[in-house]
Structure 1
Amino acid sequence: MSLDDLADDVQQTADDLETATFHLDAEARTELAMLAAAMDNDDPSVLIERAIHALFQQTVDAGKLDFHLRANYDVTYDEYLSGMTYDEMTGGSTYPTDDGDRRYQF
């Protein structure tokens, strides 16, 4: 898989989520109700959005997102954000790898 595959999968899933509905088990429903009551929030969807943001940030900060992206797509989140791989950023894919054609010789 590649950066393009990841971008396509993210776009497809985002499109699919436009009309998605979710089922909450009893525990999640009770926890969401408790949070809504405690935070005096009448719209539980706002709490769900905040929970997704918190989980995403925690996953990024812990390095778990990069781990899974590298395993499944051979890219990192930074590469996804920039739209190019580290090799493309550094020019590693544009220079010959043959020792006789190295750009710099030490």
Structure 2
Amino acid sequence: MGLDELEDAVGDAYADLDEETTVELDRESRNELALLAAAFGADRDELVRRGVHALFRTTVDTGDLDFNLRREFDVTYDEYLAGMTYDEMTGRDRYPQRDDERRYQM
């Protein structure tokens, strides 16, 4: 897998999201959401948006997002944002691999 497959997967996931996404909450999540709503005085939709942003930021900061992207698609978040892999950025994919066994033979 690679960058093209990741872009396709993100596009597919984005298309699958409805304007209004409904999520079933378990008892613990309902209690936590109710406490957050009371503490911040915010509506549920705003709290869910904040929760998505917080989870995203945490996975980026801890490297979990890169780990999972590398495992699933063999790219990192930076490569996704740049639209090219590190090998493409550095030109390493344009040159043949060095043959170290024959490197010093005359």
TM-score of the two chains, using structure 2 as the length reference = 0.86
CA shift for structure 1 position 21: 1.9
Unpaired segments of 5 or more residues in structure 2? 100-106
Q: What is the CA–CA distance in structure 2 between the aligned matches of 1:39 and 1:21, rounded to whole Å?
A: 22
Q: Could you tell me which amino acid in structure 2 is paired with residue 82 of structure 1?
A: A
2:41 counterpart residue number: 40
- SS for the counterpart of 1:96 is coil
CA shift for structure 1 position 22: 1.0
Q: Could you tell me which amino acid in structure 2 is paired with residue 51 of structure 1?
A: G
Aligned positions of 1:44-55 closer than 5 A: 44-55=44-55
Which contiguous aligned blocks of 4+ residues in structure 1 show a shift greater than 4 angstroms?
Answer: none
1:60 counterpart residue number: 60
TM-score of the two chains, using structure 1 as the length reference = 0.86
User: Within the alignment, does 1:91 sit opposite 2:82 as a pair?
Assistant: no
2:24 counterpart residue number: 23
Q: What is the CA–CA distance in structure 2 between the aligned matches of 1:16 and 1:92, rounded to whole Å?
A: 36
| 1:19-56 deviation digits (Å, cap 9, x = unpaired) | 53211111101110110011111x21101110111111
Q: What is the CA–CA distance in structure 1 between the aligned matches of 2:15 and 2:22, rounded to whole Å?
A: 13
Output the aligned Cα RMSD. Answer: 1.2
Q: Could you tell me which amino acid in structure 1 is paired with residue 40 of structure 2?
A: M
